């Protein structure tokens, strides 16, 4: 399986909008790991977190590509093509 898709070519590096999961911060909740949407900068929690806000963001917006926001991690994920890319 290829580790590339067109969606990776349509986005660039992007900083997150917040220093934590946007929705969890509003709820006063916690998360396990953070993901950044490479289309709009939304920061959401990972699928190992109980709220899965990064995936919920994809379903709500259709924004296809995220990256890890964890120190030392350089990977990205395309929800549409189900492609993992490391390094991004």
pLDDT at res. 4: 73
40 close to 9: Cβ distance less than 8 angstroms? no
Give the pLDDT band of residue 2 (cuts 50, 70, 90): low
pLDDT in tens, 52-83: 999 999 999 999 999 999 999 999 999 999 99
Contacts of residue 45, defined as CB under 8 A and 6 or more positions apart, other chains included, come to 21, 23, 24, 31, 32, 33, 34, 35, 51, 52, 53, 54
Residue 57 lies in a domain: yes
Residue 80 lies in a domain: yes
Residue 1 lies in a domain: no
Range of the domain at 77: 6-85
How many distinct structural domains can be found in the chain?
A: 1
Beta bridge partners of 34: 45
How much is the pTM?
Answer: 0.94
* Residues 7-35, mean pLDDT to the nearest whole number: 96
32 close to 46: Cβ distance less than 8 angstroms? yes
pLDDT in tens, 25-45: 999 999 999 999 999 999 999
31 close to 51: Cβ distance less than 8 angstroms? yes
């Amino acid at each position: 399986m290829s580790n590339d898709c067109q969606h990776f070519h349509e986005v660039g590096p992007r900083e997150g909008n917040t220093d934590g999961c946007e929705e969890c911060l509003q709820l006063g909740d916690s998360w396990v790991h953070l993901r950044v949407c490479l289309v709009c900068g939304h920061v959401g929690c990972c699928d190992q977190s109980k709220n899965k806000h990064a995936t919920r963001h994809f379903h709500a917006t259709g924004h296809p590509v995220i990256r890890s926001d964890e120190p030392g991690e350089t990977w990205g994920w395309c929800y549409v093509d189900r492609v993992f890319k490391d390094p991004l």
